């Protein structure tokens, strides 16, 4: 057992967990944050992606012990109250989701992509960058559209601030 202290969606969390506990298990089983999903067992699908200190990481392959002291953001932590994050709004407006299972991971991954590329984002880059996120429903067409749409929305909102 180990004690870890971290920040999850802005709240301080202290947990005593078995050494083998994965971050996704901490989030889902201990903290009840079930928006982060598990879609595979080989770190391939991206359904589990969260932000660790602002970077997209697969929480199914991260031991809780590795993130002691880190700042974690999950899908539940990106909207401001009722106001959706521009990426969330773009997924809804462009029909970027069907069953919704891959969606939290897609959104967390996509925010990181836009953060890294900013205005330089084009379709090829989005497709290449989403390589680690599998969706079985949408054929990616509307996911790509959503990410490109959000990129321009996020640029606007940064400009406005």
Partner 1 sequence: MGVEGIGASVVRKEDRRFITGRGRYVDDIKVMGMTHAYFVRSPHAHAKITSIDVEAAKAMPGVVDVLTGQQIVDDKVGNLICGWAVHSKDGSAMKMGAWPAMAPETVRFVGQAVAVVIAETRNLARDAAEAVEVHYEELPSAHHIAMAIAPGAPQLHPEAPGNIVYDWSIGEEKAVDEAFAKAANVVTFELVNNRLVPNAMEPRAALAEYNEAEEHFTLHTTSQNPHVARLVLSAFYNIAPEHKLRVVAPDVGGGFGSKIFIYPEEMVALWASKKVRRPVKWTGDRNEAFLTDAHGRDHISKAEMAFDADNKILGLRVKTHANFGAYMSLFSSSVPTYLYATLLSGQYNIPAIYAEVIGVYTNTTPVDAYRGAGRPEACYLLERLMETAARQLKVDPAELRRKNFITSFPHQTPVIMAYDIGDFGASLDAALKAIDYAGFPARREKAKSEGKLRGLGFSCYIEACGIAPSKAVGSLGAGVGLWESAEVRVNPVGTIEVLTGSHSHGQGHETTFAQLVAGRLGIPISQVSIVHGDTDKVQFGMGTYGSRSAAVGMSAIFKAMEKVEKKAKKIAAHQLEASEDDIVIENGEFKVTGTDKSIALPMVALAAYTAHNLPDGMEPGLKEGAFYDPTNFTFPAGSYICEIEVDKGTGKSTIIKFVAVDDFGRLINPMIVDGQVHGGLAQGIGQAILEQAIYDDTGQLVTASFMDYAMPRADDVPSFEISHTTTLCPGNPLGVKGCGEAGAIGASAAVINAITDAIGNNKLDMPATPDRVWHAMQAPLQQAAE
Residues that bind ligand FES in the complex, under the rule CB under 6 A: 38-40, 43-48, 58, 60, 97-103, 135-138
Contact 114, 108 (CB under 8 A): no
Q: Which does 60 bind (CB under 5 to 8 A by kind): partner 1, ligand FES, none?
A: ligand FES
Q: Report, in Å, the least distance between residue 73 CB and partner 1.
A: 11
Q: Which is nearer to ligand FES, 100 or 118 (CB)?
A: 100
Q: Which helix (H) or strand (E) holds 68?
A: none
For residue 52, the tally of other CB atoms under 10 A from its CB is: 19
φ, ψ at 76 (rounded to 5°): -70, -15
State which residue, 67 or 74, has the beta carbon closest to partner 1.
Answer: 74
Residues composing the chain: 161
Position 140 contacts partner 1 (CB under 8 A): yes
Angle at 45 between CA 101 and CA 89, to 5 degrees: 45
In terms of DSSP bridges, do strands 55-58 and 49-52 run parallel, antiparallel, or are they unpaired? antiparallel
Question: What's the min distance (Å) between Cβ of 144 and ligand FES?
Answer: 13
Task: Note the residues at the interface with partner 1 (CB under 8 A).
Answer: 18, 20, 28, 32-42, 44-45, 47, 74-76, 79, 84, 88, 91-93, 95, 97-104, 107, 123-124, 126-128, 130-131, 133-144
């Amino acid at each position: 057992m180990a004690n870890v202290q971290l920040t999850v969606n802005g709240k301080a969390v202290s947990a005593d967990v078995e050494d083998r506990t994965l971050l996704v298990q901490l989030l889902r089983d201990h903290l009840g944050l079930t928006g982060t999903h598990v879609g595979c067992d080989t770190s391939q699908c991206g359904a589990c992606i969260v932000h660790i200190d602002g970077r997209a990481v697969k929480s199914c392959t991260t031991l809780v012990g590795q993130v002691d002291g880190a700042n974690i953001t999950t899908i539940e932590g990106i909207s401001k109250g009722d106001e959706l994050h521009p990426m969330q709004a773009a997924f809804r407006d462009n029909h970027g989701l069907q069953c919704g299972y891959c969606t939290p991971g897609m959104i967390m991954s996509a925010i990181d992509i836009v953060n890294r590329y900013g205005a330089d984002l084009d379709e090829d880059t989005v497709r290449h960058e989403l390589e680690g996120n599998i969706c079985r429903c949408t054929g990616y067409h509307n996911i790509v559209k959503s990410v490109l749409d959000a990129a321009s929305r996020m640029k606007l909102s940064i400009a406005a601030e």
